[in-house]
Structure 1
């Protein structure tokens, strides 16, 4: 870890570090403890000079006073590893959650899922492994894979201007390429409002000409570029984006419990929650993402595991490698790069994508270099409260031990 990065991390939590460590679990080479309202996890190398190789600091929930979440039930599917069950139990309490699903693959490629808590507190509905969640921005992986399948078929070229394929809506900048849209370097503006009761016509959201107000070639995460990629898929295939993505990605991967609803679905879905200032959970507003290609997927944890495990099987090897090759440096942390759809962390050898919105959070992580018989090792975390869940998923994908 570069010195300036370590200094920045410690400076941001300096006031909390004045307090003593509590709940200490210490071993010669690793530590797990609490300091103030932070969870601290650290580990050193096994040999002198015992350099620090892992340091995680993330906030613990201290406001929850809701008695309804005091004794969460657990339901499982498949052979859940003991370590994953422990991570789920700890994270549920530490993050202050209503419901939590953790899922992944074992060495023989079988899928396991553990669900803890409630799908809906108002209805006292226990969360099950098969409950569906909005994936929000993880949808961008579906869109990227669909575009790359068109590239593999010779119907689209990565370095051609996107306007060469767009018919219904155009980009204001004729030079923006398909590759730039996939890597968030095309400078396409995002709409000010992302959620609605029903999915509107895309042209009513972006206008007939989508604005490109930022500097091209620089990473700037947004939703507008992927909304246009969805339109590109629709224009090239002469079908609705949702139909094309289902046919080209969901069905081949066996994601039979996933779809793109036009309004909030009602069958076996979770309810989003938010925490009031009094520490009690209430139902979050019910919304869908306005742009299906950027955030409209509803899915299960098992289906997301299928996505992470087998996505590359839909593409030629060279194109799958290109999707995981750094295309631009991200501006959200050390080592962060953007691939084609995938968010990369090269020092940790992981790729993935987060998703968050009204009352929900999601995270998908794969380790491309850790391959089982069925594909890449994959981990998924879903919650029905909007909180940061990436640290939970990293504990699954990158165990300190």
Structure 2
């Protein structure tokens, strides 16, 4: 892309652009007409002259979404190069509406687009543009954009998410769909698009409507060999999405006065202790206690915790700095068991699962034999292969098997189990995370600028995501029986940017 970035006029003229290419060739700016045409295409945010020609020939009414997206492409394509000057807030507000920039502050937005500058330089392809909406591709990213319905037609939604390897397995060519409750049309469309784009065997998307009613749409198969059609009631391993549930159980003990957040965890641990006597319960909840993660996380059967951590759990990490891991939550599970005098699964069922009606959720010691989806991996040839089912060795860190409907019930109701002040504290930043724009709450991963609390989970053959908007309390859930990144899918449901 040349040093000068440009954008297409509201009604681009191919004849004018052809003349412009010839003029610049004659002026000696390029050595061939092809080079001149390619440069013009890239200056206007497209990957090739063919793509520019096809877009202009197919264009009908003005696409305000395309106009704004081409500005983003041209303005940020050099964002990772020396000497590039970022747009100030005034310039950004000419292209993004106020709500968008409230959720995604200007400095955060600039950092975000800087990370995808190489893709921006590739230009847009596969463009499908409407007056206020657009779908396109940027290198290995899928892009969706939408603008206001009135002038100045600023962007109020922009999503970019990675494409996955396409599946060629004929067994998933015509997926069935089963639903529960009143599924919003947009959610059904997101599920259908994500199923095809990510190359999945099965996908369940779930959430809650404004009135609190729970809905879910399940697409594809729970198991291919038996033609087991996926239902909203099928169970999946939630893996790390277990952590907010463990944290809620700990906070119930805090609310009852049986545990104090800033007391050393060893004050409550009886069976296994931490090597560092000063690590607090709060530090375990926020991944700042330096507790090490055991080497082995999956097994055919849940082992005794002492065989995983030893009688004294190592604390070799840097104290006071966020470092995501599973060891601290394994110890919180033991803390819950020691304080309640009940096994962790039984204690958490009594304190969290049962009160919220999560009847499809449990912490099995071995993989469930019935009612659960089968995990898959995609071979290099595009065919799905089953992954041997295993359980997480630290139940409190990743041992929950659950349904999408149950996770929505948790997202809706977890705060009702706690005093308001403690629920608010759980969603308040406790530590800065080591990734872009994030914080850690008490059991929750937070992106305060985007009004998001949640947690991802992934393991062999499965992926999960729970998102809750703190401002409204509404949850969204995505579960699939293939290991892929599903956070962008969930954010497409919950947020104006992914």
Match for residue 198 of structure 2?
Answer: 95
3-state SS, counterpart of residue 41 of structure 1: strand
- The 8 Å contact of residues 37 and 62 in structure 1, kept in 2 or not, is answered as no
Alpha-carbon distance between aligned partners in 1 of 2:315 and 2:290, rounded to the nearest angstrom: 5
Alpha-carbon distance between aligned partners in 1 of 2:149 and 2:289, rounded to the nearest angstrom: 44
Larger strand proportion of the pair: 1
Of residues 52-61 and 186-195 in structure 1, the stretch that sits farther from structure 2 once superposed is: 52-61
Q: 1:243 Cα deviation (Å)?
A: 0.6
Alpha-carbon distance between aligned partners in 1 of 2:456 and 2:107, rounded to the nearest angstrom: 27
User: Which residue among 21, 31, 36 is the counterpart of 2:125?
Assistant: 21
Alpha-carbon distance between aligned partners in 2 of 1:333 and 1:27, rounded to the nearest angstrom: 33
User: Which residue among 469, 472, 475 is the counterpart of 1:367?
Assistant: 469
Q: Deviations over 1:312-364 (max 9, x none)?
A: 01001111011011000111222x11100011111111111111101000011
Alpha-carbon distance between aligned partners in 2 of 1:234 and 1:126, rounded to the nearest angstrom: 38
- The 8 Å contact of residues 156 and 496 in structure 2, kept in 1 or not, is answered as no
Of residues 3-12 and 211-220 in structure 1, the stretch that sits farther from structure 2 once superposed is: 3-12
Alpha-carbon distance between aligned partners in 2 of 1:6 and 1:319, rounded to the nearest angstrom: 34
Match for residue 340 of structure 1?
Answer: 442
3-state SS, counterpart of residue 469 of structure 2: strand
3-state SS, counterpart of residue 347 of structure 1: helix
- How does 1:19-58 map onto structure 2 within 5 Å? 19-28=123-132, 30-43=133-146, 54-58=157-161
Match for residue 77 of structure 1?
Answer: 180
Q: 1:68 Cα deviation (Å)?
A: 1.0
Match for residue 373 of structure 1?
Answer: none
Unaligned runs of 5+ in 2: 1-104
User: Are 2:224 and 1:124 aligned?
Assistant: no
Match for residue 175 of structure 1?
Answer: 278
Could you list the structure 1 runs, at least 4 aligned residues long, displaced by more than 6 angstroms after superposition. Answer: 45-51
CA separation of 1:301 and 1:46: change in aligned 2, threshold 3 A: same
- How does 1:348-367 map onto structure 2 within 5 Å? 348-367=450-469
User: Which residue among 191, 211, 217 is the counterpart of 1:108?
Assistant: 211
- The 8 Å contact of residues 264 and 278 in structure 2, kept in 1 or not, is answered as yes
Root-mean-square deviation (CA, aligned residues, Å) is 1.9
Match for residue 139 of structure 1?
Answer: 242
Q: How many residues align?
A: 393
Q: 1:215 Cα deviation (Å)?
A: 1.1
- The 8 Å contact of residues 361 and 389 in structure 1, kept in 2 or not, is answered as yes
Match for residue 226 of structure 1?
Answer: 329
User: Which residue among 376, 386, 389 is the counterpart of 2:483?
Assistant: 386
User: Are 2:245 and 1:148 aligned?
Assistant: no
Unaligned runs of 5+ in 1: 371-375
Of residues 18-27 and 138-147 in structure 1, the stretch that sits farther from structure 2 once superposed is: 18-27
Match for residue 254 of structure 1?
Answer: 357
Find the structure with the greater CA-based Rg.
2
Q: 1:32 Cα deviation (Å)?
A: 2.4
User: Which residue among 175, 189, 197 is the counterpart of 1:86?
Assistant: 189
Of residues 171-180 and 8-17 in structure 1, the stretch that sits farther from structure 2 once superposed is: 8-17
- The 8 Å contact of residues 24 and 34 in structure 1, kept in 2 or not, is answered as no
CA separation of 1:325 and 1:70: change in aligned 2, threshold 3 A: same
Alpha-carbon distance between aligned partners in 2 of 1:284 and 1:126, rounded to the nearest angstrom: 18
User: Which residue among 281, 288, 302 is the counterpart of 2:391?
Assistant: 288
Higher relative CO (Cα under 8 Å, sequence separation at least 6) belongs to 1
**What TM-score does the superposition give when structure 2 sets the normalisation length?**
0.76
Larger helix proportion of the pair: 2
CA separation of 1:278 and 1:153: change in aligned 2, threshold 3 A: same
